[in-house]
Structure 1
């Protein structure tokens, strides 16, 4: 019960890593808003764990503002914000990624962190406490070919995490990131281009522990970094990757 009495918002909480983080937070005693662009997915996870669903498009300022207002109405100020929502483009040479694909990846993976900061940081600073956790990727540390602009967006998120941590530390707000390797989530097929036994074997060959990241793995790491056990840790981008980045 490391998060007993805490309140948390998890974006992209309707599936994959976000759902795993939301589940673990509830197990640790937190009250959780499950936020997702897919309202039905958010509702299903929220019903399962006893959370509160909110539909949000993290790349749209008005939608993020509504998320902040709805969360405040549900439980007041959030103690924890998890920026988990993310997308990728299909593997292809960098010059073949369309401008529309590029804009969407950077909007969801990068602009969203700026928008949630605008919506939630002022209240955290005024209170003198808060925790922000950004879900980045090993792609931002050790990029894979043909995922160039996705790699870049996650590298941006890692740098943003460190910059936010330095600026917000005097206000009592901690900011960290997690870098999962490709995992058993709805994005796996997009990373690989196609989900076949051969492609899975190729990806797994690059992970020393021999398996993908799972929602359970990310939930455990997130619960630690967002708990008082980690109250001296800020500005860290921790790999949860089975040794992929060694």
Structure 2
């Protein structure tokens, strides 16, 4: 059965790999599964056909036969469970890899998204400048223990896993802020993730979509 995912017709980040379809593309590339992409506009994301796949009108979605999924964590977990390469065979190591997936999405990403929101959508508010240091400190409060746990290891728990895929994807959002540079071990960790051939293929595919779009005007 053909796997079809949805992605932005024109990504807000211009193809820098921050849109969440990149995470799904990366997972599929890691397990060497072919897939098709259906591009959707911002208007189409709020129309009934797409809302039937994603009730919150976002991307990506995942379709395979009668199965339709939304939420990148659920999609990547499904891919990792169905195909070898993203979860260890050992039951305990597998459970730990899944734990790191949840940690990336539930513990590390929320303050990072709060920072992104503050810098992009609240920059014109009179209280934004005073609030930013507090938001950045919340991010640091997550990065400090993460860096301590990683130490000098290449990956979070032995071999690369879906936990690393999700964590690297989340940390990539920090690069424009400069906060990642405060944690050299985490910056190197992210760079290792980006250097993986599967990530390179996923990034190139997303970038190609945006490069093909005519400029707005």
**Superposed pair shares fold, TM > 0.5:** no
Q: TM-score w.r.t. structure 1 length?
A: 0.31
Say which structure, 1 or 2, has more relative contact order (CA 8 Å, 6+ apart).
2
Relative to its length, the structure with more helix (as a share) is 2
